[in-house]
Amino acid sequence: MTNAQNLSQQLSQCFADQLLDNLLEQGEVTIEVAAENYFNVCKKLRDDERFAFEIMIDLCGVDYLSYGQDEWKTNATANGFSRGVEVAEHGRLRFGDELPEMSSGRKRFATIVHLLSLKNNQRLRIRVYAEDDEMPVVSSVTEIWNGANWFERESFDLFGIHYDGHPDLRRILTDYGFVGHPFRKDFPLSGHVEMRYDPEKKRVIYEPVSIEPRVLVPKVIRDDSRYSLPEDEE
């Protein structure tokens, strides 16, 4: 039995009905827990000697609003190259545009945590979904791992996920007075406003966005005789 298989089995035995999912894939273990059990599961993962996950490597937010949906599709053939794109969707939204209907069929916001146990030489990924899409809230784990402080602030800033119990939950990357959360799938790629330094006013000013939103479509190139170099040039 591999180290990852042993960890997955121990998690199933220890947490039993607290796990919504226990996935072992590509040698990595990912568990999913309900928001109500998230804090207690994390605390036991740190304190129980069978796990001893004393280090939190990373914490981030995820927006599953348009999960599994394509903005563009190529019509590339097996022996050529082409470009193809569908009509404008959420990727080209501008401020004030009407939002299209989008749904992935699951709860929208989740927090992902990556843990490391030096003692047992094991890694673990935890996913917890916020119950309310309109006001996503999950427990803060800063009491368990101090390093979660800035990670949770980043997740709040970029995704708008609130962390209950966080000692200082405020924006960390965006400007003061920033409107919205830029990593949400329904946030315009071009943003809401432009900013530049005005030498006459001697300050930064905000203006309407002048950039035309667009989505880059990669060119699919097939390897066939049409693209082969002559022998003397190879």
Quick one: 53 and 118 in the same domain?
yes
What pTM did the predictor assign?
Answer: 0.78
Same domain, 49 and 10: yes
CA nearest neighbour of 183 among 111, 77, 83, 79:
111
Examine residue 179 and state whether it is found in any structural domain, yes or no.
no
Residue 32 sits in the same domain as residue 133: yes
pLDDT per residue over 162-194, tens digit each?
Answer: 999 999 999 999 887 788 899 998 888 778 888
- Give the range of the structural domain holding residue 142, as residue numbers without chain letter: 1-67+106-170
Whether residue 22 is found in the same domain as residue 127: yes
Quick: pLDDT tens for 200-226: 999 988 888 887 766 665 555 556 555
* 36 lies in the same domain as 58: yes
* Residue 192 covered by a domain: no
162-164 and 137-139: which strand pairing? parallel
Q: Are residues 53 and 130 in the same domain?
A: yes
Structural domain total, the chain: 2
- Do 110 and 90 share a structural domain? no
Identify whether 33 is part of a domain: yes
- What is d(CA 31, CA 35) in angstroms, rounded to the nearest whole number? 13
Q: How confident is the model at residue 85 (pLDDT cuts 50, 70, 90)?
A: very low
Residue 127 and residue 214 in one domain? no
Residue 180 in any domain: the answer is no
What pLDDT digit, counting tens, does each position of 2-53 carry? 899 999 999 999 998 899 999 999 999 999 999 999 999 999 999 999 999 9
Please report, for the domain that includes residue 41, its CATH number. 3.30.460.80
